[in-house]
Amino acid sequence: MNVRTRVATLSAGIGLAFSAILGHKLRSFLTVLGVIIGTGTIIGVGSILTGLDGAITNIIRSLGTDSILVTKLRAGFGGGHTREEWMRKPLTLENAVALRERCPSVLHVSPVLFPGQGFHKARYKGVELYSIRIAGTEWGYAVGGQAEMQSGRYFTEAEDLHRAPVAVIGEDIYKGLYSGVEAVGKPIEVDGHQYEVIGVMKRPANQMPGQQDLRVMIPYYTLRKMDPGAIEHMFVVVAHPNLVSKAMDEVRGVLRQERRLKYHEPDNFNLATAEQLIEDFRQVTAVTALVMVVLSSIGLLVGGIGVMNIMLVSVTERTKEIGLRKAVGARKLDIIVQFLTEAAVLTGIGGLFGFILGWLISRGAAAVFPSLPTSVPVWAAVLGIVVSVGVGLFFGLWPATKAARLDPVDALRYE
């Protein structure tokens, strides 16, 4: 059989497949419903994971490739913290000073002090916002690029040392309390304490999609005065360019000395770079992707079983047609190709509808979370269609083989 004949045979098989599908529209739709759901899940979740990966990667990398986060608890996406981590003694300002003085590869250290636990609120002229995030920082926090100003300014070293009652607020606090009116120079009440707003920060690049900017930054020593019980610290350490690894070794060595750790004792603090956080995040998304594949496989398995059942019914309904074709010279291979083509076309159409469903899921996620850059990756679209066609070929093989094995005489007598 030459190439032209094969192409003609395949085209005729596809035409017969479409005729069979169009002749039983509802039955065909119900048959491939599992394939649609499975393919749509692969494409939809794949687009969300791709967008989330891009968003989180950009968020983490915005911390800076030369930055190191020093925390008491383990940072990252690896799950909950152990009892040992919660029992660790807090980092202190003295630790930050030691890092500045004794780490030659470190350019800057910004200590961040957090108030005690509980709900925190901000208030202006009777309007209140809850669940705000308060932190006390030094003037160098902005110098290190951690706060970009929209209006006004960040507080100075003198204001920090003199415990000035000033505050710099996040963009959503500005919108929520001041309704777009100039906030600089106006008062704000935070947990019962009065501050003067001296600046409004831009929404940070390192912010989760859909997260509000509810930051209130006040001078480090001001927070210690207002909340003497505040003891929890985080350090943002900026290394000299291309010296992150060396800086990490120096920071680890100094902190182990400061915290009186013996050589055989593990660290009771955590160091994390942007690349480490990205790696942790991708380990979590890998598990999510695995769950997605398992759930999608269930839908595809159901769809495949439905395809096999409907193809067996089709073989029974078209027994005389099969007998006639074999009587006029059709080979077993021709019958197998005919029915496999019909199964592949059926599931291929299901895969196409699944692609549309996945695209709608992607668009819906983008509408709910505008800052989440969802997009349907090419690999997900191609994989969805290929897998759906593969399901049709796999589950259509038995009915096709059964049809090819029919005796033409018995098939022509079939009622």
3-class SS letters over the chain: CCHHHHHHHHHHHHHHHHHHHHHCHHHHHHHCHHHHHHHHHHHHHHHHHHHHHHHHHHHHHCCCCCEEEEECCCCCCCCCCCHHHHCCCCCCHHHHHHHHHHCCCEEEEEEEEECCCCCCEEEECCEEEECCEEEEECCHHHHCCCCCEEEECCCCHHHHHCCCCEEEECHHHHHHHHCCCCCCCCEEEECCEEEEEEEEECCCCCCCCCCCCCEEEEEHHHHHHHCCCCCEEEEEEEECCCCHHHHHHHHHHHHHHHCCCCCCCCCCCEEEEHHHHHHHHHHHHHHHHHHHHHHHHHHHHHHHHHHHHHHHHHHHHCHHHHHHHHHCCCCHHHHHHHHHHHHHHHHHHHHHHHHHHHHHHHHHHHHHCCCCCCCCCHHHHHHHHHHHHHHHHHHHHHHHHHHHCCCHHHHHHCC
pLDDT at 165 (0 to 100): 92
The token pair that represents 345 in the structure block: 């076309």
Q: How far apart are CA 297 and CA 317, in angstroms?
A: 30
pLDDT at 413 (0 to 100): 65
- Kindly give the confidence (pLDDT) of every residue in the chain, 415 residues in length, as a single tens digit, with 9 standing for 90 and above: 556 666 666 676 667 667 767 777 777 777 778 788 888 877 887 777 777 777 777 666 656 667 888 888 876 655 566 777 788 888 888 999 999 889 999 888 888 898 877 788 899 888 888 888 899 988 777 765 567 788 888 888 899 889 999 999 988 889 888 887 888 989 999 988 899 999 998 876 555 555 678 889 999 999 988 888 888 888 888 888 888 889 888 999 999 988 888 888 888 888 887 777 777 777 777 777 777 777 777 777 877 888 888 888 877 877 787 777 777 777 787 778 878 888 888 888 888 888 888 888 888 877 777 666 677 777 777 777 888 888 888 888 888 888 888 777 666 666 5
pLDDT at 336 (0 to 100): 82
pLDDT at 340 (0 to 100): 84
Looking only at the bridges linking them, the beta strands covering 215-219 and 133-137 are parallel
Residue at 117: amino acid letter: Q
pLDDT at 79 (0 to 100): 56
Q: How far apart are CA 389 and CA 78, in angstroms?
A: 37
Helix axes 33-61, 378-404, angle to 10 degrees: 160
pLDDT at 194 (0 to 100): 92
Q: How far apart are CA 405 and CA 399, in angstroms?
A: 10
